[in-house]
Structure 1
């Protein structure tokens, strides 16, 4: 069948466009594209021309029965005349599936203007059919926004000119045909997808495009606002056809904050945030460990990284199942020691200083054990490291680690169903308040609150909640591997030792004796580790465990001392 063939379906029709290199034995994705009010399928094909841009799709351009589509507002001509456009779409998909080989689950939709409003209707009422929908030059009707109830999450992309005077970007009030704003529409789809509340915001194309991006870890909801754009399919700064295909192709790749990247190692991708790339000398690698809630990701370095990046090249790498790294079934601090080596190779960083917070000392120590000959590891700085001595180990391996280990099989499906999402959100809100109180006034301007919030809310993703549970369940084995290692003496290891344990002692007087012994054991071990390696032992009084927010200058000062000792810039 040649490109642009009209196909009859009873009294209705659609234009079918095959790729130029179409092969009958190959399977294809299917893309349905809907014209605007008063338009037709031929005009939409000329406007979008998807089949000329990709060889992966069979493209159909359906023709509306009336002058416009029955878009779901129950307010227009097509609705009054009873046009069954949802049923017609079902017929088009079934007809093409009879004629050609289609990839299961790879059906997409795009629309322009009133056809874009109808595409939203498909997202609301055919979410089990469409993997993703693209909306160009339309916000959303008030009626559809009120009735939209997808049966499952669906990815959606919206592209709209902020100067659109046909279907205004900010919506409008009307008794029969009101519109909510484009920003409200994309936020609505994000909520329906159960995405975290805060979007990533970016300016693109030298400020001509503003991106608002939500994600639930599996589906995306993204709005591209063209600042000077009107009511058009494409714009000078934004080629809608190309951008839609790019969006469809990148559904599994999360949109990242500024300064972030995803480094792929074999089958997994790691989130890396890099700053201070203009600086020479060893790279500072920041490694996160857990707080009281066992949250452990790059949010902890939202202040320290910009501070250090004034003079150093600084990377923070999220372990798998954290931040914007992929979720996996086998996360652990042991695994990250090997993952770190692979990521550093991809980053082409050979000379490094590791800064490890809390349990990240496990990964840092194992990394040195296995890769000291492969990398030029100049020094380490540990902040409240795990203590590989009997009493401390017994506490680490107790609650909650032993509980997670025993209950993991039953817990994982509970987490997958959102059983702990609300309690996680409550903990994040409390953590936000606590960190706000920790950051000194002189560092407020440097503290990247936007990044902190965006990184923190990644913890709400069910895959990451499961990863956290799996990592805690693996913690005992991580500790066993750590405890078998000898003192690290070949490079300087400085240790910052806060007295955060005092808060635990005050909160749990029944176990005060055991916790006090933990504090004492930790201080003695940390002092000896620093002494044996010719590093610094820095004991801080009345200091919080999240020292990176409360006293970042202490960490910077300890690093400066190490660099001076090594005679490095």
Structure 2
């Protein structure tokens, strides 16, 4: 190591020690508490803290907490207090062999002297598992300052040993960033003050000990762990911002503490408790603002709730598919915020869509029953349903089955499926018949990731088309929400859910076609002319063009009749795309305003 590198290391060590929030007096290594034991292991040592009321027959999680440069295990125990906060963990506080941990930069004293800290960590885990009943798959690590740099090394080079890790007050060395290649995903949480003078939040340039920024570090680790591409940014507190990625099973989060220094704890942010909460929820993706999961006997349903202080019947938004059969509340990223200015609005995702849980049996018909259970949990009895595309099947079945249980004031269809013979023959043909026939073979094919690339290409194309669709219109789209929901379609379970819904579509349509038109409440229908483009594209195929034209005419006729029979509105949109909720949300709001004006409300 070059002399000036030693100088840098010494300065970092000194500043780290000065900024640590441990007690002023050094802990005596020989003075162990009743539940903390000093363990010798192959010339190395660590402190082991057992939970209060420890029972050998009980199973516990294992947490390894790594100290800062020049620190000791007992200092880390005093600083983090992990064993005092939770009785769910056995906590080990290891001690470095050298003044620093061998963090993976190949630039410090520990590396030069050959400290095998990765091996020591593996041996320590194995020994604790041999002596105590550690819950399988529940091993975690946390590190502060230079100990945090080492924990990043664990995430890159020993990921199979951990379910999740946490890093406090440390970005990532340029060297580790360039070499990090985890063999399997491991969740990571980072906490860093933006004004850290020791290991700067924004990184630093140096020929031997350069650092990338913490935002770049979490983005890099997310990418290397196969995360979905779009980050979720949230403001949690006046001085705390969250950047969150996930891959459907693991998540990667950076808590940025505004003006925070080189500390473990911060005002308004209890780092130790936040870390334990992260470990307990690593398989739960961070939800966007206004989102919640509503639990029923059938599973958890993703619900986005806005305008909750507005009076009157709740407006319930039900999503249907576009031409790629993608169907979730992303389609309401422009409509729901607009409606929430006046109404209490819920968008509710079916199982297998967005953040809702997965199920083996999925259909639009089934969702009518699920919807009733969700509304019951939300304590909403008086509702108006707004359904887009095939979600009209769910809305119609919900009305059929639950009109006595709920006060359904009105319905608004947007480009509904048409339950007439010619239209049904088109809907029930390709691709629905192909999915139904091939579903048993298709599901494992999807599970192997064979359609992920093509799904990604379709989503990228859709995103570009939607950007063009709203350009030039006075439409405000919540793009952050749109991205967070859209990217979930890449996940294998969501791909399989889409296939299951398409396969069930034929039976859904048969049941829907057997139902009469609604006449006892007002039903308005927005009918776009999106079929016109398909008709023009089929100009060289006269038979297909004629079939599409008949579909369009049949749809307009049925929609106008349904609106007339129920004293609703028939609204024909010219030069319109099928994605009316994104392109023309104001048209939907105007139609909804009209319906509310017809209601006799107290």
TM-score (norm 2): 0.92
* Mapped contact 2:527–2:559 kept (Cα < 8 A): yes
In the alignment, the residues of structure 2 paired with residue 411 and residue 65 of structure 1 have an alpha-carbon distance, to the nearest angstrom, of: 53
Compared CA separation, residues 490 and 71, structure 1 to 2 (3 A)? same
How many Å apart are 1:304 and its aligned residue? 1.0
Aligned with 2:117 (options 85, 100, 112):
85
| SS of equivalent residue, structure 1 residue 443 | coil
Residue number in structure 1 paired with 2:280: 249
The equivalent position to 1:417 in structure 2, one of 430, 433, 448, is: 448
2:254 is the alignment partner of 1:227: no
Aligned residue in 2 for 1:157: 189
Alignment check: 8 A CA contact 2:522 2:567 kept: yes
Separation in 1, partners of 2:538, 2:137 = 53
SS of 1:176's equivalent in the other structure is coil
Query: Which of these residues, 536, 542, 562, is aligned with residue 529 of structure 1?
Result: 562
Match status 1:544 vs 2:574:
no
What do the CA deviations read for 1:174-221 (whole angstroms, capped 9, x no partner)? 11111111011100111112112211101112x201100001111000
After superposition, the C-alpha distances for 1:95-146 in whole angstroms (9 at most, x for unaligned) are: 1111111111111111011111111111111211200010111001111111
Residues 363-392 of structure 1 deviation map (CA, whole Å, 9 limit, x = unaligned):
101111111111110110001111112221
Residue in 2 that maps onto 1:306: 337
Q: Select between 529-538 and 13-22 the one with higher mean Cα deviation.
A: 529-538
After superposition, where does 1:192-203 map in structure 2 within 5 Å?
Answer: 192-203=224-235
Shift of 1:435: 2.0
* Number of residue pairs the alignment of both structures matches: 567
- Structure 1 residue runs of 5 or longer lacking an equivalent are none
Structure 1 equivalent of residue 295 of structure 2:
264
Please say if residues 298 and 370 of structure 2, whose CA atoms lie closer than 8 Å, have aligned partners that are also in contact.
Answer: no
1:170 is aligned to 202
1:14 matched to 2:61? The reply is no
Question: Greater CA radius of gyration, 1 or 2?
Answer: 2
User: 1:157 & 1:82 partners in 2: Cα distance?
Assistant: 28
Give the equivalent residue in structure 2 for 1:317. 348
User: Of 475, 484, 493, which residue of structure 2 is paired with 1:463?
Assistant: 493
Q: 1:127 aligns with which of 159, 162, 172?
A: 159
Cα offset, 1:411, TM superposition: 2.7
CA distance in structure 2 between the partners assigned to 1:72 and 1:254 by the alignment: 29
Q: 2:412 aligns with which of 381, 401, 410?
A: 381
Aligned to 1:438: 469
SS of structure 2 residue aligned to 1:264 = strand
| 2-structure distance, mates of 1:266, 1:64 | 50
The answer as to whether partners of 1:2 and 1:18 remain within 8 angstroms in 2 is no
What CA distance in whole angstroms lies between the structure 1 residues aligned with 2:96 and 2:511? 66
Where structure 2 has 5 or more consecutive residues not aligned to the other structure, the ranges are 1-32
Deviation of residue 442 (structure 1)?
5.7
Name the CA distance, whole Å, in 2 between partners of 1:237 and 1:250: 21
Asked if structure 1 preserves the Cα contact closer than 8 Å seen for 2:165 and 2:188, the reply is yes
Structure 1 residues 185, 267: CA separation in 2 closer, same or farther (over 3 Å shift)? Answer: farther
Which residue of structure 2 lines up, in the alignment, with residue 37 of structure 1? 69
- Cα distance in structure 2, aligned partners of 1:486 and 1:220: 47
Which position in structure 2 is the counterpart of 1:365? 396
The 3-state SS of whatever aligns with 1:157 is strand
Aligned residue among 206, 212, 217 for 1:180: 212
For residues 127-170 of structure 1, the C-alpha deviation after alignment (integer angstroms, 9 at most, x for no partner) is: 11200010111001111111111111111000001111111111
d(CA) in 2 for partners of 1:109, 1:521: 63
Residue 215 (1) aligns with residue 246 (2): yes
For residue 265 of structure 1, report the CA deviation from its aligned partner: 1.5
8 Å CA contact 2:122–2:161 kept in 1: the answer is: no
Displacement of 1:441: 4.3
Aligned to 1:557: 590
Match of 2:428 in 1: 397
Question: Is contact 1:33-1:61 (8 Å) kept?
Answer: yes
Return the alpha-carbon distance in structure 2 between the equivalents of residues 10 and 458 of structure 1: 47
- Please say which of residues 152-161 and 387-396 is displaced more in the overlay: 387-396
- Partners in 1 of 2:99 and 2:362 — Cα distance? 55
Give 3-state SS (helix, strand or coil) of 1:474's partner.
helix
